[in-house]
Structure 1
Amino acid sequence: MPEWVEVGFRSILFVVVLFAVTKLIGKKQISELSFFEYVAGITIGSIAGEIIMGLNNHWGSGILSIMIFGLVTFFADILSLKSKNFRNFFEGRGTVLIKDGKIQEDNLKKERYSIDDLNALLRQRNVFKAADVEFAVLEPRGDLSVMLKKENQPLTPKDINLKVAQEKEPQTVIMDGNILNDPLAESGKTRKWLNMELEKLGVTLDNVFVGQVDSYGELTIDIYDDKIKVPSPQQRPLLMAMMKQCAADLEVFALQTDSKKAQKMYNKNSEKLNQLILKLSPYLK
């Protein structure tokens, strides 16, 4: 058998083996690696490379070695879920680098981090002054978790008692000019509604790269021809404008009528409508 054919066959074989081992270990192996998982991953890759390019024919030994490393990592993950002590040993513990706004120099030395290293990690969290940090911990996987001081934290709607609308994930109902039936049904819409919305926007289905329905039932699209301007959905702003117009009309009617009873009715309903507008304003902006 020619050498290039043998190398190609080995490559395909070990792609399948490595894929199976990675699926066994799980997504954690390819996202956030502990020290042991890092070592196991490098070793598995080295074994596969050696067997693929090596001149010996011990394929079975290579596959066995890869399976052993994969199974050890898999069972170590299982044990770490069941035992905190094992998890602390296997994955390590977080190290506090900043506490109560003060840098912990001893812990920096323990982890062999310089102040430049700490500043670099802070900058990755968009923090440029250590004095702005209340608490920071170096996680076992090398990431820095940061809690800013209260006065440096971003203002949220909750801080000012502002009500905001709750949103769910948008459903992608069009992709590459094709309608996706399951997401469309999940959004509670039909093909008839979708075609009507596309007609309102003045675009055809085959010109839509992606279309999404948000939690308010509005369709937003991105088309292939970027030179064409697609209008933004206006249903909510139009509804808000109509409600405000109705409230204003009721106030005008109250001023124009000579009947005390009708005036009272108009003012009462105008007040109710204004209260409703106030409640719905976070959802209709």
Structure 2
Amino acid sequence: MPAWLEVTIRSFAILAGLFLIAKLLGKKQLSKLSFFEYIVGITIGDIAGALSMELEASLSQGITAIVIWTSIPVLINLLSLKNKKFRDFVEGKATIFIKDGKVMEDNLKSEKYTADELLEQLRKKDIFKLADVEFALLESNGEISTLLKREHQPLTPHDMNVPTAPQKETQTVIMDGEILDEPLTAIGQNRGWLKTELEKIGVSIENVFLGQVDSFGQLTVDLYDDQLQMPAPKQQPLLLASIKKCQADLELFALATENNRAKKMYAENAVKLDEVLTKVQTILRN
């Protein structure tokens, strides 16, 4: 067998094997590598590279080494899931850097962190004033988690007693000019509804690069032609305006009619609709 062909076969085989190993180790390995897992990854890559290029190297011995190096982190992960003490020993514990607004200098020294490094990490989280931090700790993966003091935390609708609608996952219903039926079904719609919505904004499906439907059922699209500007969805503001008009009409009817029974009915329903407006206007105004 020619050398180049053997190198090609080895490379593809090892690449397929590394892909299976990555799937076996799980997605956690991509986002959070411990120091030990980092070393294992480098070693496996080095072995795989040597097996691809060095034809005199024993393929069976190399595969055995890769299996052994792969089995170790898998075994450690299984033990870590079942035993917290073992997990703390392998992955380490979080270290408190700031508590009740005060810096824990001894903890900084034990983790070999300087004050400059702590301030740098806080700045990366858009915190430029140490006095604003109530609590901060160094996670086992090296990231710093922070909790701002109550008076410096962002204001939320809950703090202002403002009602908010529950949010659902935005569904991508068009991609690369093709309709995706599964997301459409997930929101309880079909192709006919989608085509009707596209007709409302004067766009054909072939011109749409990406189309998404939000939790309010509003369709937003991105076109292949970047020069065209699509108007913002107006279903919510239009619905709010319609409710306001109905409420105003009921008040006018109550004033205009001479029939006491009808006047009472119009007035009562105008009050009910006004209560509905109070609850939904903050949602529909966006």
Short-chain TM bin: over 0.9
Q: Match of 2:90, as an amino acid?
A: F
Residue 258 of structure 1 and its aligned partner are, at CA, apart by 3.5
Does residue 179 of the first structure (1) align with residue 179 of the second (2)? yes
Query: What's the TM-score once normalised by structure 1's chain length?
Result: 0.95
> How does 1:263-278 map onto structure 2 within 5 Å?
263-278=263-278
Q: Distance in 2 between matches of 1:193 and 1:262?
A: 39
> How does 1:250-269 map onto structure 2 within 5 Å?
250-269=250-269
DSSP-derived class of the 2:159 partner: helix
What's 2:98 paired with? 98
DSSP-derived class of the 2:209 partner: strand
What's 1:152 paired with? 152
Residue 93 of structure 1 and its aligned partner are, at CA, apart by 0.6
Q: Match of 2:280, as an amino acid?
A: L
Q: Distance in 1 between matches of 2:250 and 2:27?
A: 60
Q: Deviations over 1:174-233 (max 9, x none)?
A: 111111111111111111111111111101100000111222222111111122222222
What's 2:65 paired with? 65
What's 1:129 paired with? 129
Residue 4 of structure 1 and its aligned partner are, at CA, apart by 3.8
Q: Distance in 2 between matches of 1:166 and 1:232?
A: 21
Q: Distance in 1 between matches of 2:118 and 2:50?
A: 38
Q: Distance in 2 between matches of 1:185 and 1:134?
A: 46
Q: Residues 165 and 282 of structure 1 are in contact (CA less than 8 Å); yes or no, is this contact kept in structure 2?
A: no
> How does 1:124-273 map onto structure 2 within 5 Å?
124-273=124-273
Q: Residues 207 and 223 of structure 1 are in contact (CA less than 8 Å); yes or no, is this contact kept in structure 2?
A: yes
Q: Residues 108 and 114 of structure 1 are in contact (CA less than 8 Å); yes or no, is this contact kept in structure 2?
A: yes
Q: Distance in 1 between matches of 2:114 and 2:164?
A: 43
Residue 63 of structure 1 and its aligned partner are, at CA, apart by 1.3
Residue 69 of structure 1 and its aligned partner are, at CA, apart by 1.2
Q: Distance in 2 between matches of 1:29 and 1:272?
A: 55
Q: Distance in 1 between matches of 2:175 and 2:24?
A: 32
Q: Distance in 2 between matches of 1:137 and 1:94?
A: 6
Q: Residues 121 and 144 of structure 1 are in contact (CA less than 8 Å); yes or no, is this contact kept in structure 2?
A: yes
Residue 19 of structure 1 and its aligned partner are, at CA, apart by 1.1
Aligned-residue identity in percent: 53
Which deviates more, 231-240 or 5-14?
A: 5-14
Q: Distance in 1 between matches of 2:74 and 2:140?
A: 19
DSSP-derived class of the 1:157 partner: coil
Q: Deviations over 1:66-100 (max 9, x none)?
A: 11111111111011000001000111111111111
Does residue 24 of the first structure (1) align with residue 24 of the second (2)? yes
DSSP-derived class of the 2:221 partner: strand
Residue 2 of structure 1 and its aligned partner are, at CA, apart by 4.5
Which deviates more, 83-92 or 233-242?
A: 233-242
Q: Distance in 1 between matches of 2:53 and 2:118?
A: 41
Number of aligned positions between the proteins: 285
Residue 108 of structure 1 and its aligned partner are, at CA, apart by 0.9
Q: Deviations over 1:12-37 (max 9, x none)?
A: 22111211111111111221011221
Residue 3 of structure 1 and its aligned partner are, at CA, apart by 4.1
Does residue 82 of the first structure (1) align with residue 117 of the second (2)? no
Q: Distance in 2 between matches of 1:172 and 1:90?
A: 41
Two-structure CA RMSD over aligned residues (Å):
1.5
Q: Residues 164 and 283 of structure 2 are in contact (CA less than 8 Å); yes or no, is this contact kept in structure 1?
A: yes
Q: Residues 17 and 63 of structure 1 are in contact (CA less than 8 Å); yes or no, is this contact kept in structure 2?
A: no
Q: Distance in 2 between matches of 1:140 and 1:173?
A: 39
Q: Distance in 2 between matches of 1:49 and 1:229?
A: 50
Which deviates more, 114-123 or 44-53?
A: 44-53
Gaps of 5+ in 1: none
Which deviates more, 140-149 or 212-221?
A: 212-221
Q: Residues 7 and 55 of structure 2 are in contact (CA less than 8 Å); yes or no, is this contact kept in structure 1?
A: no
